[in-house]
Chain A
């Protein structure tokens, strides 16, 4: 990751796992990781959408064991580093050791934006294993800039070299992104970098990434073609093009990225990434983006509306990982609903 001052992370093979219902195969990983590497992307994240150990009834089982995918990705890149995601409470430390043995060298340790104190032992182990280690504060819209800084400091003290403002619900706006990134940039050590991970639910992922960069974020996440949870992420190829036009130096190059998007990723997408009624609602109400497909599935099964489920999930202030609440809510809505005509 030499050269440009800004590190570009592509999470197509992790956040995109949500949009693919975790049905990703080795061949797709080799194609996507290899193509991103050749286009100059610095970091390629590969894991179950809910991080290592995410394969489950609750989040969906993976088509292919994620460690097999990680190994394939490591073998497909020459320059890019392979990252993994881990949510303490879902994945465990052994998963980190195994990912490191297979050649992953960057890790993001993710917690809800108020619960950073469940992450220090995982962050410390990650450093010990030699991972480049980032803390990932999910659902950042649910904490104030000052509150987020306190949480970021817990991760920094544990050893995180980068701390992310993670807009898991795509609910932040350029100003609210800026306030959070500035709070972290101003309050953390100079040597600690700040990252931003945006979602497209309010059509602001690119604008928010620009705002984050202006406020001092030097790790920026995207997913090629936006392939990710909810309405998707900041499309990596758009980030590359826009940052180039803004004069922000990246190792990734625009024309090769356009080809990766069009020729490699778009063909494997199950559906287009849209800001439709349900995904717009995620951003508007501040609901975890990966709830979308689960809510659609529950809506179909219980003959209730996706919108009603998501509104209720928002009311109950669900945090990331509470996918089990969706079936519960859908069943409850179905039992109280008047029969549809």
Chain B
């Protein structure tokens, strides 16, 4: 690809700022503008020094400069995105939504992005979903998974007010993702906040119910392949030890260390969201190119 696809970041907080640094490294995406409120905020100062246009005009700036913002990364709040989304879509631009607004289909880069490349709005589900759905998909690619359960443990410091106010939204959205995208017949998600100091790195445990006759070697290989794929866009994505098989289940232990672009390294839960969002943008860019859609 000769030209990078121009991107806008809506929101100049922790997520938006971390996203900017990741987009700067992208081979086919280029952050052009960051939309924020307070010009003196750390995020907007950093955006200016990285050469981005900064504006307080909100989504209106984006729709009046569509050539600068092929992909709009929404890093504000669910409420704000609900208001912004129709305008973004009407301008013919695509939203990659990191908020819990859930207007468009949920996407996990290595699993289902192909199906949604034309969607006006794709949603990044939850941090726990980005960490665990690929593993459920890896197991269900080999053997039926009647039930998948995940436990996400994150550092208290990395759980913002949005997560805390609506913790049910995390469990529900993640569980639905395990089913609809991961391929489990039934999903369950649990989230634990741990206040230990120093803060702990994000941990996720994935349990898949499997038949005692399932091909364990094939499951191991599929898990390992998926780990490699996810680690290609989330470098701190690791397995802690071997998958543990019991009669009727396999347990997979994941740890996600952040790249510490802007967020602290322990906040792997936030890092995996921004890293996956960039991966989604890159995939969408490749598919547009393949389908011959002009940037």
Contact = CB atoms under 8 A, between A and B. Distances in A.
A: contact size bracket:
20 to 34
A103 interface: no
Interface stretch (A12-20, A89-97, A241-249, A257-265): A89-97
A58 B205 contact: yes
Given A92-B172, A114-B156, A328-B240, A321 B166 contact: no
A197 to B, nearest CB: 20
Nearest to B148: A57
A332 B156 CA distance: 25
B92 interface: no
Interface in A279-313: none
A89 B164 contact: no
Contacts of B191: 89
Interface stretch (B5-13, B53-61, B69-77, B192-200): B192-200
Interface residues of B, number: 33
Contacts of A112: 193-195
Contact of A117 (B153, B164, B196, B242): B164
A57 B166 contact: no
B194 A319 contact: yes
A114 B196 CA distance: 10
A331 interface: yes
Nearest to B163: A118
B244 A321 contact: no
Nearest to A58: B151
A135 interface: no
Contacts of B165: 117, 120-121
A90 B192 CA distance: 8
A56 B188 contact: yes
Contact of A89 (B192, B200, B207): B192
Nearest to A88: B167
Contact of A321 (B190, B242, B251): B190
Nearest to A334: B241
A68 interface: no
A209 B251 CA distance: 40
A92 B171 contact: yes
B193 A331 contact: no
A327 B190 contact: no
A120 B166 CA distance: 9
Interface in B157-214: 161, 164-168, 170-172, 188, 190-196, 200, 203, 205, 207, 209
Contacts of A335: 241
Interface in A305-341: 316-325, 327-328, 331-332, 335
A115 interface: yes
Contact of B149 (A58, A121, A321): A58
Contacts of A327: 244, 251, 253
A89 B167 contact: yes
Contacts of B207: 56-58
B238 interface: no
Contact of B168 (A93, A318, A323, A324): A93
Interface string B239-255: 01110100001010100
8 shortest A-B CB distances, which residue pairs? Answer: A324-B205, A317-B196, A57-B207, A321-B192, A89-B191, A114-B195, A92-B168, A324-B151
Given A58-B205, A89-B171, A331-B244, 7 more contacts: A57-B207, A112-B194, A115-B164, A121-B166, A122-B168, A319-B195, A324-B253
